Amino acid sequence: MSTLITNIAELMTQDAEHRVLKNAALVVEGERISWLGPAADAPAADEAVDAGGRALLPGWVDSHTHLIFAGDRTAELEARMAGESYSAGGIAVTTGATRSTSDFDLTRLAMGRVAEAVSQGTTYLETKTGYGLDVDNEARSARIASTVVDEVTYLGAHLVPDGMDAEEYTDLVCGPMLAAVRPFVRWADVFCERGAFTEDQSRRVLQACRDAGLGLRVHGNQLGEGPGVRLAVEFGAASVDHVNYLSAADVDALAASWSGWDGGTGAGRGTVATCLPACDLSTRQPLAPGRELLDAGVQLALASNCNPGTSYTSSMAFCVTTAVLQMRLSVHEAVRAATYGGALALGRESGNDVDGERAVGSIAVGHRADLHLLNAPSATHLAYRPGIPLTHAVWRAGVRAR
């Protein structure tokens, strides 16, 4: 079955050439894009969809979420808004609620969050464990996550549980817990931050997970300057996320990690800096320096960080709007960071078939047909009309999801 989507006012491809096509059309065949170009040249297809002069983007790629959880932390938000500073300790509240919730209910809750994200144009999602924090519950979280999202990250190193010795818990994360989650995950992450894991502990986690064959990510430099960025670059992590507080040396290290990148096959790729602006607003941290990072040559991603404590939103449009209005990114740069950038952070940006998954985050022939049709004639309306729900239609792997 093939579907022609025509009468597209603006098609923002986010492909290697950064093309923006006017009066365009494309053809979806199965799960892939089989043709795109001027609407006047469009081939015949089994069915046709009239975009009605709307803008078409790649679906959002949300490369940083925490969807496997139960419970409520509204009191924590109220406390922050009243002037209390954010610390990692609130994670323990969610851990207790998550451990006491059944598999059925955890799955149901996660599926609802995924559906909410898809309804807003997100077509490819990562999520993490990290609210189990013991062997059985981390393995359970990983297993449930593997049934509801596209990419799963092991975050046993999220917080040291109350009553446990930090070194003993790090041993657990690097040993039995890692073995238990390994069948369900592709990535590993560590919260390298004050109140969470030290540089030495983070190094042990990253080494053990790399030895186990997992790709690496790092939560770093959220609450202050620290070793997170440096460790991420040293270990060749796919991304370092938050990046609110960066020294000049941190920016230089991230930029240098991309110096040999060819931009096509993925050879010589560096560490993506993932900015989480919804979280920054909620925690009242300074917004990550996205403009500075882009100007230095660092590849940037935007993600929602959907979680119960500091960013309970799956709205990638909100993140894009914030990046434009407050981080000084152009609309094109922000959309690219929320689509291609997220794919780059997940290693899914290139090739027509990578580990059984077609490339996502851009619109090109052979790529997965993940598409987001706006109820607006251009992507500029995402910043021009902040807060207005602009998603008109969504296709996920060629299947219309909205």
Domain at 386, CATH number = 2.30.40.10
- Determine the straight-line distance between the first and last CA of the chain, rounded to whole angstroms: 18
pLDDT band at 268 (very low <50, low <70, confident <90, very high): confident
Instruction: Examine residue 47 and state whether it is found in any structural domain, yes or no.
Output: yes
71 occurs within a structural domain: yes
Question: Quick one: 18 and 82 in the same domain?
Answer: no
pTM for this prediction: 0.96
- Higher pLDDT: 80 or 12? It is 12
| 244 and 336 belong to one structural domain | yes
pLDDT of res. 171 = 98
Q: What is the CATH number of the domain that holds 280?
A: 3.20.20.140
Which domain does 9 fall in, by range?
2-58+363-400
Say yes or no: 104 and 221 in one domain. yes
Query: Same structural domain for residues 141 and 154?
Result: yes
State pLDDT tens for residues 147-198. 999 999 999 999 999 999 999 999 999 999 999 999 999 999 999 998 899 9
Do 249 and 320 lie in one domain? The reply is yes
Closest alpha carbon to 153 in 178, 136, 121, 122: 178
- Per residue in 307-322, pLDDT (tens digit) is 999 999 999 999 999 9
In a domain, 354, yes or no: no
> Is residue 353 domain-resident?
no
**Is residue 352 a part of any domain in this protein?**
no
Same domain? 107 vs 39: no
Number of domains in the chain: 2
Q: What is the pLDDT of residues 105-137, one digit of tens each?
A: 999 999 999 999 999 999 999 999 999 999 999
Same structural domain for residues 49 and 69?
no
User: 357: pLDDT confidence band, cut at 50, 70 and 90?
Assistant: confident
Instruction: Calculate ∠ Cα 14-336-347, nearest 5°.
Output: 85
Binning pLDDT at 50, 70 and 90, where does residue 356 land? low
Residues 90 and 204 in one domain: yes
Q: Which of 327, 328, 283 is nearest to 305 (CA)?
A: 283
pLDDT at 265 over 70: no
Give me the pLDDT at residue 81, please: 85
The mean pLDDT of 23-35, rounded to a whole number, is 97
Q: Is residue 90 in some structural domain?
A: yes
The per-residue pLDDT for 353 is: 67
Is 252 within the bounds of a domain? yes
pLDDT score at 177? 98
pLDDT tens digits, one per residue of 236-254: 999 999 999 999 999 999 9
Cα–Cα distances in angstroms (integers) from residue 386 to residues 161, 280, 317, 381, in the given order: 39, 18, 9, 8
SS (H, E, C) the chain: CEEEEEEEEEEECCCCCCCEEEEEEEEEECCEEEEEEEHHHCCCCCEEEEEEEEEEEECEEECCCCCCCCCCCHHHHHHHHCCCCCCHHHHHHHHHHHHCCCHHHHHHHHHHHHHHHHHCCEEEEEEECCCCCCHHHHHHHHHHHHHHCCEEEEEEECCCCCCCCHHHHHHHHHCHHHHHHHHHCCEEEEEECCCCECHHHHHHHHHHHHHCCCEEEEEECCCCCCCHHHHHHHCCCCEEEECCCCCHHHHHHHHHCCCCCCCCCCCCCCCEEEECHHHHHHHCCCCCCHHHHHHHCCCEEECCCCECCCECCCCHHHHHHHHHHHCCCCHHHHHHHHCHHHHHHCCCCCCCCECCECCCCCCCCCCECCEEEECCCCCCHHHHCCCCCCEEEEEECCEECC
Other Cβ atoms within 10 Å of 116 Cβ, number: 15
Chain-centroid distance, C-alpha 353: 20
CA distance 67 to 65: 6
Q: What is the pLDDT of residue 92?
A: 82
Query: Is the pLDDT score of 89 beyond 80?
Result: no
Q: Using 50, 70 and 90 to split pLDDT, how confident is the model at 264?
A: low
Query: Are 152 and 260 found together in one domain?
Result: yes
Residue 266 has pLDDT above 70, yes or no: no
81 lies in the same domain as 31: no
